[in-house]
Structure 1
Amino acid sequence: MNQVVNHLIGLLKLERVSATQFIGRSQDIGFPKLFGGQVIGQGLSAATQTVEGRFPHSLHCYFLRPGDSAHPIDYDVEVVRDGGSFSVRRVIASQFGKSILAMTVSFHITEEGLDHQDAMPNVPGPESFKSELSLYRAHADEIPSKVRDLFTADRPIEYRIVENQNPFRPRPGIAKRHMWIRSVAALPDDPLVHQSMLAYTTDYGFIETALMPHGISIGNPYLNLASLDHAIWFHRPFRLDEWLLYVADSPSSSASRGFVRGQIFNQKGELVASTAQEGLLRYSR
């Protein structure tokens, strides 16, 4: 298995301390703050390991404090309820005795019901686009030296963005983007691996959609960008080692907060998940 993929699987697996307590290693990606997607993915993994025979269908979380990428994270899971067909877990992630994330996850048995969905957007397939990583490497001379290695390093997830342009010289445009996403290597058949890795992935490049109408780069020195909350709904089974289309749009930005929402389709056109997020967008010229 690819080394960076294997590392991510291990990162999301967690060390079990008790029936409801876990410890997660931190991933140093070159910034002092933890990547929010890591805490989402690890929190989902912790909650899922306390439930049997049911699969997560939604999660909602709030980022309370920045995490420290140099230290491990404690995850405490509260068994809120186990009903006839639904189970609910509350997860608190903490470092140094202080909460950094609060998450609620709901689980559901597998059952049949009414079925409909939005149509998948008609965009060219992933073979029509270069990876985002290749663009970063092509524009490496424009990346600040202190984060150049971070942006050009190998990644466990490949992103191919339909609206590709120079990420460090963006042009104002419509607040909508389409990203093809896929693991760079085959994954185990365990659904938890695919769900926790997708949870990790959905935070990447998501809030940046709210910057698109303004032509502001994430590398802008006058921009303070941070995730405030995040939600995911899992609709249908999927595999992250097969191409998925992540469609994101931002209907509003105001009061230094940007709101984004997303839909994730497989190549059959099935809507497999939906997302939403609000993020801090403090910008001072």
Structure 2
Amino acid sequence: MLEVTKKLVELLYLSPNGDDHYRGDSQDLGFPHVFGGQVLGQALMAASHTVEGRLCHSMHAYFLRPGNQHMPIDYEVQRVRDGRSFAVRRVIARQDGKEILTGSMSFHATEEGFEHQAEMPDAPDPETLRSEQEWGKLMASQVPEKLREIMTRDRPIEIRPVNPMNPLQPEKRPPHKQSWIRALGSLPDDPVLHRCLLTYASDFSFLGTSLNPHGVSFMNKGLQIASLDHAIWFHRDFRMEDWLLYDKDSPSASSGRGFNRGNFFNQDGVLVASTTQEALIRQR
């Protein structure tokens, strides 16, 4: 396992901190606050620690406050229900006694049933694309030093965008984005970890889909952006070392909020997970 991936795995495997409480460290990715995907992934791991024989099939969470990346996070798990097929958990993430995220997760025992799925959209092969890190190195001389470090740093999740936009010169485009993602290096055979890693990765470049039609990027002055909520559904098994296509669209933006949807497909065209997110996209 690569060192940078090992650090992310260690970040997601939380330490017990009392009955149904877990402690997670925070990672500085160069953003003003804790990366939302980190809190989502850790919250799912905390809930999963309290469930046996079932895997998460859906998660719905609200971001309540920005997280401080220099402080640990306490995750309190509440055992809402344990049924014959399903179990439900509520998770509250706190820093300094204040809630920064609340979410609910549902877990389901494996069973057979009806099968259908949406078709995988067309997308170029990931091996023909540059990674975000490579694009960052090409643009490094044009951005401030602090941003340069963020754009060129080594990362455990490799993202290869399809038709990437120059954030320094944003242009109006349809509300649709695609990227291929995978975790670098080998990973343990732990389906819980793979779900937590996908939850972590699903927050990257998601809210930007709703910015596409407006010709702005995260680098525009006077633009306030933040994830407000996040939901993810796991449909089928997958491995994060394998390439997954993240196909995203934004059917609506209004009242300073942008709504985003996403689907994850493996290279065989199998739909493995779906996401939604509403984000604050406020022009000051």
What's the TM-score, normalizing by structure 1?
A: 0.98
Structure-to-structure mapping, 1:189-208, within 5 angstroms: 189-208=189-208
- For 1:217, the equivalent position in structure 2 comes to 217
Which residue number corresponds to residue 136 of structure 1?
136
Contact 2:234 2:273 in 1 (8 A): yes
Aligned equivalent of 2:76: 76
Tell me the distance in 2 between the aligned counterparts of 1:144 and 1:87.
48
Report the Cα distance in structure 2 between the residues aligned to 1:147 and 1:36, rounded to whole angstroms: 19
CA RMSD of aligned residues (A): 0.9
CA contact (8 A) 1:79 1:89 kept: yes
Aligned length: 284
How far is the alpha carbon of 1:173 from its aligned partner? Answer: 0.6
Letter in structure 2 aligned against 1:213: P
Q: Which residue of 2 aligns with 1:34?
A: 34
User: What's the CA shift string for 1:187-215, capped at 9, x where partnerless?
Assistant: 11111111101000000100000111111
State the 4+ residue runs in structure 1 displaced beyond 4 angstroms: none
Distance in 2 (CA, whole Å) between partners of 1:187 and 1:215 is 38
Structure 1 residue 168 displacement after superposition:
2.4
Residues 102-141 of structure 1: per-residue CA shift (max 9 Å, x gap): 0100000000000000000021110121111101110012
Q: Distance in 2 between matches of 1:165 and 1:90?
A: 38
Query: Which is further off, 195-204 or 183-192?
Result: 183-192
8 Å CA contact 2:76–2:91 kept in 1: the answer is yes
Aligned equivalents of 1:145, 1:221: Cα separation in 2: 17
CA distance, structure 1, for counterparts of residue 76 and residue 258 of structure 2: 30
Structure 2 residue matching 1:269: 3-state secondary structure: coil
Long gaps (5+) in structure 1: none
Give, as a single letter, the amino acid of the residue that structure 2 aligns with 1:86: F
2:92 match:
92
**Alignment-derived partner of residue 24 in structure 1:** 24
CA distance in 2, matches of 1:124, 1:146: 32
- Quote the residue 1:241 is aligned against: 241
Code of the aligned partner of 1:87: A
Q: Secondary structure at the match of 2:228?
A: strand
Q: What amino acid maps onto 2:55 in structure 1?
A: F
Distance 1:77 1:120 in 2: 36
- Structure 1 residue 169 displacement after superposition: 1.6
SS of structure 2 residue aligned to 1:159: strand
CA contact (8 A) 1:135 1:166 kept: no
Unaligned runs of 5+ in 2: none
Q: What is the distance in 1 between the residues matched to 2:184 and 2:14?
A: 22
Distance in 2, matches of 1:283 and 1:2, equals 40
User: 2:250 is matched with which residue?
Assistant: 250
CA separation in 1, counterparts of 2:190 and 2:63? 27
Q: In 1, distance between residues paired with 2:18 and 2:272?
A: 32
TM, length-normalised to structure 2 = 0.98
DSSP-derived class of the 1:140 partner:
helix
What is the Cα deviation at residue 185 of structure 1? 1.2
Q: Which residue of 1 aligns with 2:148?
A: 148
Post-superposition shift, 1:3?
0.9
